[in-house]
Chain A
Amino acid sequence: MTLLLLAMAALLLGAAASLFLGGSRRNDVSVVAAALVGVAAVLGLIPAIQVLAGGPVLQFRCPWPVPFGEFFIQLDALSAWFLAPTLLLSALCAIYGVGYLRSQAGKRPLGPLCFFYCLLVLGMTLVPLARNAVLFISAWELMAVSSFFLVTFEHERESVRSAGWIYLVATHLGTGFLLVFFILMDRETGSMDFTVWAAQGIHTPELAGMLFLLAVVGFGTKAGFMPFHVWLPEAHPAAPSHVSALMSGAMIKLGIYGLMRSLTFLGAPSIWWGWLLLCIGLVSGVLGIVFALAQHDLKRLLAYSSVENIGLITAGLGLGLLGVSYNQPLISILGFGGALLHMLNHSLFKGLLFLAAGSVAHATGTRDTNRLGGLLKKMPWTGALFLIGAVAICGLPPLNGFISELALAGASLKAITVDPAQAAMAGMLALVCIGLIGGLAAVTFAKAFGIVFLGEPRQPVETPHEAGLAMKIPMVILAAGCVAIAFGAAWLPDWIVPIASRLGGLEPERISAQVQTPALVLAIVSICGLALVILFVAIALIRRGLLSGRTGGAADTWGCGYARPSARIQYTASSFVQPVTTLFRWLLGAQRQLQRPEGFFPAKASLTTETPDLTHEELYRPGFLKINWGIAKLRWMQQGHVQLYVLYIAVTLIVLLAWKFR
């Protein structure tokens, strides 16, 4: 526990140092901040790994002069599972930031960015540790507000400011639901202590159901469930890339953490909880990936893909709850375990992809896939690392994304073979969607990698250059993590099963026999992955043997006899996904502006496609316009006379007094 407190102190020191050095326009401040975040991560990872490896639960409490508050932190396995990737990613993104911000140094002070970065990491460290509702909400708000300032780093651009406001409003609407949740819990149990809540549980199903809904909306807004995801595709592209990587890789997962933690307070789950989470997860998954593939902005695409992955995680949670309800421990373990593992995997490969996308944007000055192309030759490292992330996120063997999707598919398959029929239906629904999501993810990332890194540059952009060492090393570490999880899959059950069984309220003795098969399967899958690599190497050697000494050559790409090929006749990002977007046009509402070539000597033609967010356009914009319209009706009250305002206050007080002594 001392190490964790020291880690928090290091983060506070980092924030203070950033303020102190903030005025300078040099890059020193980001180096100092990265060093301190790195120290904090190492200090925090040691206890987290100890607890995960089966060590005792650590806790620390001291009085705190805030009403109802107590500085009560505890590190159990669930907290450690979320804390470890958060700290790792924070440190890696901070190191990346040193390289990424070098070009910004001198243009603007970097102190505020580093200050809020340290505070964000502090908030994200405290959220999984806090065991007191007031402390939790404070950490949650620290996280929300500091990330708002990070999103609006480039605040001179109008789009960034508007993205920041959308994020701030969305996150606080979510917090509003959480406040109600905590107040109701307090009324029910008479305590603000999470351990008390977990011990007592809620025993009226109606109240538990309502609390569950509050938690789903409150935490789901942060996690990015459809239709509360609306801030993600705005805020992630607006933020600097290392911040987007951290927000997408770690911060939104804390929404999932909150939901998991809340489930431990609410007692035995009703059947509809599982169904609700399953449906939310599958809808978020399918819609997330459909919207992702229609995007042309690389980071916006990745943001929507986060919605998809959060959907998969939530569907896993839903399957786990259904397993509890239908008394099928193996489904629970596979569902919860798959969700937990996918959470870890997503923080690795989505962090990697955002960092690689940041390198692309940094090197070329654009994120528009339709303007890019052929970058693999100029940026071999970034390209290869992006490819690893892409294969992993598509859930393709042999990388880690496949392992967690296998666990989720395994939960669905197990559900398919059991009775009652409802469980089998749930499993089939999940399996269909997992298959569809996998297929569409392959479309999305074949497009993202193929259009950006392969072929010829579509439009002249700034001379691209490979990312510097400070940017490369974090990406290499994340890619190595993806590979390590895939080939070390056999050891995963030892770490995950205890957490998953706690979530499902299952006794370890009852499940230990049941989880032997999944553990064996994971080992076999790792061996298959290894065999795949060996086969590939063998084939490569055969090919080299065959080609050695033969005459080869280089030529132009076969253009079917067309004599004047140019880079502009290549397939573009828009045309690559056109068949899918046409199939889903009723959903996407893509806007296209087409200027057809006309006349005998057509000179000018153009086509632009754009896919705005459905819920943003159809739900929130009209909704907020209505609210605005309603509030405008009250504008007569605001006259600008101070005397009148004093009168309002007096009248309010009198009314309240009268109500109190009624």
Chain B
Amino acid sequence: MNAASFIPLLLALTLAPLLPGIINRTKALFAGRRGQPFLQTYFDLLKLLHKGAVYSRTTTWIFRAGPMLGLAAVFMAVVLVPFGNCPALIAFPADFILFAGLLGLMRFFTVIAALDTGSSFEGMGASREVFFSALAEPALLVALATLARQAQSLSLSTILGQVSGGHWLQAGPVLALVLIALMIVLLAENSRIPVDDPNTHLELTMIHEVMVLDHGGPDFAFILYGAALKLWVLAALVVGMIVPDTGTLWLNLVLSVGGMFLLSIVVGLVESTMARLRLLIVPQLLVGAGALAAMAFLLGLNK
């Protein structure tokens, strides 16, 4: 734990809501619209925090606890992820198992909060969410474990610090495959196209958005902020693999924040150029991500 690690934490907490803004702006540009302001998510959060909340009579305390626990879990996940070659605030061997566990906890409570409403739409979203993430989780673990073998270390901070250096020259194909797998996991876990469409207005086709239909006011603000943070931590993994260590803290941070913005633009590009996959195809995509990561592992086995 060192003092410099607090800077990435502050960056995550303040800049995370900017990422959805960039994605949306990219999509708007592609569609020929001017689009919403970059800071739209911040405005939404402020507005929601000032509202009251209406609760369904079917719901119980689970419905109220879900968003709060989800936000707490993703806060802890932020603390575990290194950024800009700056080690995470809490780093220890096998910390990415805790990272995956925290994301799992967040998801579990989002899902049961959705089931708490008794709505068939939210049940549908919940059912899809648990299914897809059950397939995405092994892919994430295999990808990170492959990196762990490459870096001969079990802690995210050391792994990403090592990999982003000269490793790309020695083991380029391995890292490229892992990168693709992580990218697919990022899109799936953050309910982006091609797995989920955050824009649709038809509840039948949505996954994440439909689970939170009944939340409002501060609860919904927690959910929005939590989703932005989740996008930030997974994007930080991808960016952490690529951005090299320049040796200066400030330059590293600037490069990484730039990388995060660039990655958001890439996500926007994917969303603008692709259609959402049919739900029956999504498992194949996720298993494919796992298979890519496993292939990377096998490739990297003989060093």
Contact = CB atoms under 8 A, between A and B. Distances in A.
Interface of A: 373-374, 376-377, 387, 391, 394-397, 402, 405-406, 409-410, 412-414, 416-417, 421, 424-425, 427-428, 431-432, 434-436, 438-440, 442-443, 446, 449-451, 454-456, 517, 520-521, 524-525, 528, 531-532, 535-536, 539-540, 543, 546-547, 550-560, 567, 569-571, 575-580, 583
A571 B302 contact: no
Contact of B135 (A397, A406, A439, A451): A439
Given A374-B118, A454-B118, A535-B72, A409 B111 contact: no
15 contacts: A397-B101, A409-B94, A410-B94, A410-B97, A428-B145, A451-B115, A554-B54, A555-B54, A556-B58, A557-B59, A558-B56, A558-B119, A567-B118, A571-B124, A579-B128
B152 A554 contact: no
Nearest to B62: A454
B131 A376 contact: no
Contact of A417 (B107, B154, B218): B154
Contacts, number: 243
B54 A579 contact: no
Contact of B218 (A391, A405, A546, A580): A546
B183 to A, nearest CB: 18
A416 B111 contact: no
Most chain B CB inside 10 Å of its own CB: which residue of A377, A395, A409, A410:
A409
Contact of B152 (A417, A434, A546): A417
Contact of A428 (B51, B55, B73, B297): B297
Given A435-B100, A521-B94, A583-B283, A456 B127 contact: no
B120 A569 contact: yes
A535 to B, nearest CB: 4
A258 to B, nearest CB: 30
Given A402-B101, A417-B148, A417-B154, A439 B94 contact: no
Contact of B93 (A387, A410, A425, A435): A410
A442 B108 contact: yes
Interface footprint category on B:
35 or more
Contact of A571 (B65, B127, B154): B127
B222 A539 contact: yes
Contact of A550 (B51, B75, B76, B302): B51
A428 B68 contact: no
A394 B106 CA distance: 13
A393 B72 CA distance: 20
Given A439-B134, A528-B98, A536-B69, A450 B115 contact: yes
A539 to B, nearest CB: 5
A560 B204 CA distance: 10
Given A413-B145, A416-B149, A454 B93 contact: no
Contacts of B283: 579, 583
B253 interface: no
Contacts of B222: 539, 543
B68 A539 contact: yes
Interface stretch (B16-24, B136-144, B230-238, B239-247): B136-144
A450 B130 CA distance: 12
